[in-house]
Chain A
Amino acid sequence: MTRISTEVLVIGGGATGAGVLRDAAMRGFDAALVDRVDFGEGTTGRYHGLLHSGGRYAVKDPVSARECIAENGILRRIAGECIEDTGGLFVTTPADDPDYADRFVQGCRDTGVPVEEIAVAEALRREPRLNPRISRAFVVPDASMDAWKTIWACVRSAQEYGARVLPYHPVVRILRDGDRVAGAVCRDERTGEDVEIEARFTINATGAWAGRLADLAGAPGVTVVPGKGIMIASNHRLVNTVVNRCEMPGDGDIIVPIRTVSVIGTTDSPVDDPDDLPITAEEVREMLDAGDQLVPGFSSARQLRVWAGARPLFKDDKAPAADTRDISRGLALVDHAERDGLGGLITITGGKATTFRLMAEVAVDAMCKQLGVERRSRTAEEVLPGENPDGHYWLGSRLARRERTMHDDQLICECELVTRGRLEEAIARRGTQNLDDIRRVLRLGMGPCQGGFCIYRATGILHDERRLDGPAANAALRAFVQERWKGVQPILFGDQLRQARLDDWIFQGLLDIEHVADGEAGAEPEPVAAKEVA
């Protein structure tokens, strides 16, 4: 068994965990981050991509609204490259309570969320696809945020401060030293070996899974209700501004333009298991119908993909679990020394992607307090590393880069403009055999054809770059085909089905991938490698 020693072990590689890692590393702690799968595979990677202005919470949850607008300003400064400054609109549709708008404005004023009413004609000029029957429109500083990019920027920043990251390291058990948590044993999924990580302090940032992790640590009863939210991505920027229904938060009342798509979200239904989030035809239909309220015709637009995420809703006694939207979205910090007499462990959950940095700060503050050290958080001040840290993300940036390398590089994923150079670099950097890991870095296969063309190419390149044997490459190919299928299957009608059948045509009809010489990846000790001729 490999042994690692660190001061701070962070469990959970979503935005919160990555933020905690960075915060701790910047305060001079030796820190390590583990996740059971890849970073950003959980709730952070499954949200609609909204950087809240706070407007959504202005009436219902003023605390959250204040947190959001403060963090919105900070993230625009430190993570500019991860954010597209789309701006946001709240609009009163015919289906909305017309009285809400005045309460909304008052709520924004009370919580410091900048809000400006504009004429309906002006709103329609800015967003011509908006429902022309809206009666009022308000501008707020919403934006869209690339969750994966944000996570990786935090990770890179933390690594610059000496932190280590271990994706695909599920926690097998929590180490205890008397009444203290002393780290964890994780399994390295790539080698199958156990790794013992000895840590002075452990921070549980596992979001919707936080109750389970706390159980494992011997601190039972931390109840985190997973709230399932489904989202559908449309294949176009149907709007270029975040548009919200000006109404008490409900289902399907936000459309977020992010990268090349528009995402409608979301629902909220309590579920038992954050790993089991089935999507029903009724939910899809309701979401599409809701989209029509904001953007008429939304339901007949070409849809790309549907997915569900599990919100971590920390349960207090005031709200019944039946309607999870009534539970505070505010962050939840559990100091297990106080709660359970268990030292060396803090749970940070609840919250939302927009407040991930604040959550991290609060968690590391609590850790410092327990450790009796005083070190101030600097995450709000230092800009995250990136290629263009001064500016916001611009939709045309990939095309601009592609135009510069048009004759020098191959376009592997035409939909998302991923070049061979970028792909090879990502494969090398991530050291992975998993194309889905690459997808979260490059958006490979996320466009209209959902991988129909790029999956074969990327597999061929992965095979050559990573020196995979045939079966390992086949496994990567099939796994990615299946991963893409999972997200289109519930929305297979109309042109989505047509595209899926074209992809079948390629994978089954042309390539016959279901019959390629089989065997588990790497199962044979001595795979025969074909000779390559120079």
Chain B
Amino acid sequence: MSQDVVVVGGGLAGLTAALRLVQDGLRVVVVAKGVGATHLTGGTIDVLGYTPDRVDSPRSSVSELVASRPDHPYARLGVELLERSLDWFTEAAGTLGYSGSLDENLLLPSAVGAQRPTALAPASMAGGDLRKSPRLLLAGFRALKDFYPAYLADNLTRAGLEARSTVLATSPRPGEADVNGLIHAAALDADGGFRCRLAEELAARVEPGESVGLPAVLGLEKAPEVWRELQDRVGAPIFEIPTLPPSVPGMRVHRRFAAALRKGGARSIVGAVAVGAETRNGSIDAVVVQDAARKRSYRARAFVLATGGFASGGLELELGGKVRELVLGLPVAGTLDGSAFAAGALDPHPLSRAGLAVDDELHPVDADGKVVYDNVYAAGAMLAGAEPWREKSGDGISIASGIRAAEAIGERLL
């Protein structure tokens, strides 16, 4: 089998790179071990949230960050590319209606009631922007164990906001105590009366002038429609708050991108673990992929490696302290002899910044800065130098590096 580009990894970075390449008319195959980390993220696009102080303007803070941290991925990517990438993402996400910019972060409530800075949010979440001090009614579903509105409201009230809470009895499966978020989302997609029942119960509790915060389960395939219809029926602004994985809003993004890839003629192979490569003279001819029954090689002219960091399994720390990149055995930067972890769970851990060092075109480089394979490009959470969760920077890095890798490949192949 031959194609122009093989993208290894189906998270935000891999999907972005693949879709951008398809838009250039290249033949692309995506091989992914699983569905990708989009299913874990909250569906917001975080560019830079903390440095460690809260970031109001990602544009100026990214510039300051890269001045002091030349090893940070943003130092390679740059603000101009970042901005272009966010515009591209907003366009690609289509009717999910992402808004926001590099100029100012939105402040959206997290499910514990932290005020979480993020650059872009889908239409169904943007209404939760706490900078506008909305009066809030936070509503959970009795059967959904992943959202605690009273706890959330307490923390927001403490932070000086006006917030009440309530728990709705309406359920997609009356009589069942434990109904997960996906079932709520599917029931809202299918409708069958659940939208209406939910809207009625909510309308009876909301007071004029309040905005209603609900767990982010308002439909999967038909999310924009569900959200709009609920707002109309309730007669109040409604916004979603992301909660525990699997993340419905993250899955919406995944589905959009997967559908666009299909439409663009790309193939996606999920359940395929890239385990090695056929190499020749500093280039890669093919990646070797293990699926359920056998190994097979996917040949291409260029390869995007976007298998993620430690959480997604792109990188692995061995007993003894050595970090490995699992597909190509690429050199890993930022590994250390000393302690990899801090004593406090929430403290910065030195290991967090470990990953692949790259050049400006995102070719992985070795310790001497020498390109390892001239047709391999790395993107996403496997890049060295960032602490995505602390900084709230993971989505920006993934999208911008996915775009950069695609552009570099375009320059090479087209």
Q: Given the complex, which residues of B lie within 8 Å of A517, measured CB to CB?
A: 113-115, 155-156, 158-159
Q: Mark A463-491, 1 if CB is under 8 A from B, else 0.
A: 11000011101100110011011000100
Query: Which residue in B40, B147, B310 is a CB contact (below 8 Å) of A497?
Result: B310
Q: Does B316 have its Cβ within 8 Å of any Cβ on chain A?
A: yes
Q: Given the complex, which residues of A lie within 8 Å of B159, measured CB to CB?
A: 517
Check A505–B40 contact: CB distance below 8 A: yes
Give the one of B154, B340, B389 with max A CB within 10 A. B154
Tell whether A516 pairs with B313 under 8 Å between CB atoms, given A470-B154, A493-B318, A506-B245: no
Q: Mark B328-359, 1 if CB is under 8 A from A, else 0.
A: 00000000000011011110000000000000
A527 to B341, CA, bound (A): 35
Looking at the complex, which of B19-27, B57-65, B174-182, B404-412 is the stretch in contact with chain A? Answer: B174-182
Q: Given the complex, which residues of B lie within 8 Å of A412, measured CB to CB?
A: 145
Q: Mark B133-171, 1 if CB is under 8 A from A, else 0.
A: 000010000010111101101111111000111100000
Q: List which B22-61 residues lie within 8 A (CB) of chain A.
A: 37, 40-42, 50, 54
A497 to B175, CA, bound (A): 39
A284 to B164, CA, bound (A): 49
Q: Given the complex, which residues of A lie within 8 Å of B113, measured CB to CB?
A: 470, 516-517
Check B151–A463 contact: CB distance below 8 A: yes
Closest to A462 in B: B151
Q: Does B242 have its Cβ within 8 Å of any Cβ on chain A?
A: yes
Q: Mark B225-249, 1 if CB is under 8 A from A, else 0.
A: 0000000000000000011110100
A481 to B156, CA, bound (A): 21
Q: List which B237-269 residues lie within 8 A (CB) of chain A.
A: 242-245, 247
Closest to B319 in A: A493
Q: Does B311 have its Cβ within 8 Å of any Cβ on chain A?
A: yes
Q: Does B388 have its Cβ within 8 Å of any Cβ on chain A?
A: yes
A534 to B169, CA, bound (A): 11
B242 CB to nearest chain A CB (Å): 6
Q: Does A368 have its Cβ within 8 Å of any Cβ on chain B?
A: no
Number of A residues, CB within 8 Å of B = 63
B106 CB to nearest chain A CB (Å): 13
Tell whether A530 pairs with B157 under 8 Å between CB atoms, given A412-B145, A456-B244, A517-B113: yes
Check B112–A474 contact: CB distance below 8 A: yes
A534 to B139, CA, bound (A): 11
Check A511–B114 contact: CB distance below 8 A: yes
Q: Given the complex, which residues of B lie within 8 Å of A373, measured CB to CB?
A: none
A510 to B319, CA, bound (A): 28
Tell whether A464 pairs with B388 under 8 Å between CB atoms, given A470-B113, A533-B165: no
Check A508–B346 contact: CB distance below 8 A: yes
Check A410–B155 contact: CB distance below 8 A: no
Q: Given the complex, which residues of A lie within 8 Å of B164, measured CB to CB?
A: 530-533
A478 CB to nearest chain B CB (Å): 7
Check A420–B145 contact: CB distance below 8 A: yes
Tell whether A530 pairs with B344 under 8 Å between CB atoms, given A285-B319, A463-B148: no
Q: Given the complex, which residues of A lie within 8 Å of B177, measured CB to CB?
A: 407-410, 420
Check A456–B111 contact: CB distance below 8 A: yes
Q: Does A529 have its Cβ within 8 Å of any Cβ on chain B?
A: yes
Q: List which B343-392 residues lie within 8 A (CB) of chain A.
A: 343-346, 388-390, 392
Q: Given the complex, which residues of B lie within 8 Å of A461, measured CB to CB?
A: 148
Q: Given the complex, which residues of B lie within 8 Å of A285, measured CB to CB?
A: 319-320
Check A510–B41 contact: CB distance below 8 A: yes
Give the one of B137, B311, B320, B340 with max A CB within 10 A. B311
B225 CB to nearest chain A CB (Å): 25
A292 CB to nearest chain B CB (Å): 12
Q: Given the complex, which residues of B lie within 8 Å of A505, measured CB to CB?
A: 37, 40, 311, 389
Closest to A469 in B: B154
Q: List which A505-519 residues lie within 8 A (CB) of chain B.
A: 505-517, 519
Check B310–A481 contact: CB distance below 8 A: no
Check A530–B112 contact: CB distance below 8 A: no
A511 to B155, CA, bound (A): 12
A91 to B154, CA, bound (A): 58
A489 to B112, CA, bound (A): 25
Check B344–A511 contact: CB distance below 8 A: no
Q: Given the complex, which residues of A lie within 8 Å of B346, measured CB to CB?
A: 478, 481-482, 507-508, 513-514
Tell whether A463 pairs with B154 under 8 Å between CB atoms, given A508-B346, A515-B115, A533-B205: yes
Q: Does A250 have its Cβ within 8 Å of any Cβ on chain B?
A: no
Check A533–B137 contact: CB distance below 8 A: yes
Check B145–A502 contact: CB distance below 8 A: no
Q: Does B317 have its Cβ within 8 Å of any Cβ on chain A?
A: yes
A503 CB to nearest chain B CB (Å): 9
What bracket does the count of chain B residues touching chain A fall in?
A: 35 or more
Check B145–A410 contact: CB distance below 8 A: yes
Give the one of B112, B115, B147 with max A CB within 10 A. B112
Q: List which B181-237 residues lie within 8 A (CB) of chain A.
A: 205
A220 to B394, CA, bound (A): 58
A416 to B243, CA, bound (A): 21
Tell whether A482 pairs with B151 under 8 Å between CB atoms, given A494-B316, A509-B392, A510-B242: no
A407 to B242, CA, bound (A): 25
Check B112–A501 contact: CB distance below 8 A: no
A513 to B165, CA, bound (A): 20
Query: Which residue in A406, A408, A510 is a CB contact (below 8 Å) of B110?
Result: A510
Q: Does A153 have its Cβ within 8 Å of any Cβ on chain B?
A: no
Check A516–B166 contact: CB distance below 8 A: no
Q: Does A271 have its Cβ within 8 Å of any Cβ on chain B?
A: no
Tell whether A473 pairs with B151 under 8 Å between CB atoms, given A504-B389, A512-B112: yes
Q: Given the complex, which residues of A lie within 8 Å of B148, measured CB to CB?
A: 456-457, 459-461, 463-464
Closest to A490 in B: B341
A492 to B317, CA, bound (A): 8
Check B157–A511 contact: CB distance below 8 A: no
Tell whether A482 pairs with B345 under 8 Å between CB atoms, given A501-B310, A530-B154: yes
Q: Given the complex, which residues of A lie within 8 Å of B313, measured CB to CB?
A: 498
Q: Does A10 have its Cβ within 8 Å of any Cβ on chain B?
A: no
Check B317–A497 contact: CB distance below 8 A: yes
Check B41–A509 contact: CB distance below 8 A: yes
Give the one of A412, A473, A510, A528 with max B CB within 10 A. A510
Q: Mark B304-317, 1 if CB is under 8 A from A, else 0.
A: 00000111010011
Q: Does A377 have its Cβ within 8 Å of any Cβ on chain B?
A: no
Closest to A478 in B: B346
Q: Given the complex, which residues of B lie within 8 Å of A108, measured CB to CB?
A: none
Tell whether A516 pairs with B155 under 8 Å between CB atoms, given A456-B112, A511-B110, A531-B165: yes
Q: Given the complex, which residues of A lie within 8 Å of B154, measured CB to CB?
A: 463, 469-470, 473, 527, 529-530
Q: Does A299 have its Cβ within 8 Å of any Cβ on chain B?
A: yes
Q: Given the complex, which residues of A lie within 8 Å of B345, measured CB to CB?
A: 481-482, 484-485, 504, 507
Closest to A457 in B: B145
Closest to B137 in A: A533
Q: Given the complex, which residues of A lie within 8 Å of B158, measured CB to CB?
A: 469-471, 517, 519, 527-528
A475 to B125, CA, bound (A): 27
Check A530–B165 contact: CB distance below 8 A: yes
Q: Given the complex, which residues of A lie within 8 Å of B301, measured CB to CB?
A: none
Contacts beyond the supplied A492-B341, A498-B310, A516-B112: 9 A-B pairs with Cβ under 8 Å: A288-B319, A420-B177, A460-B148, A469-B154, A470-B158, A473-B154, A512-B114, A516-B155, A531-B153
12 A-B pairs within 8 Å (CB atoms) are namely A406-B178, A410-B145, A456-B146, A456-B243, A457-B145, A469-B158, A470-B151, A504-B345, A512-B114, A514-B346, A515-B115, A528-B158
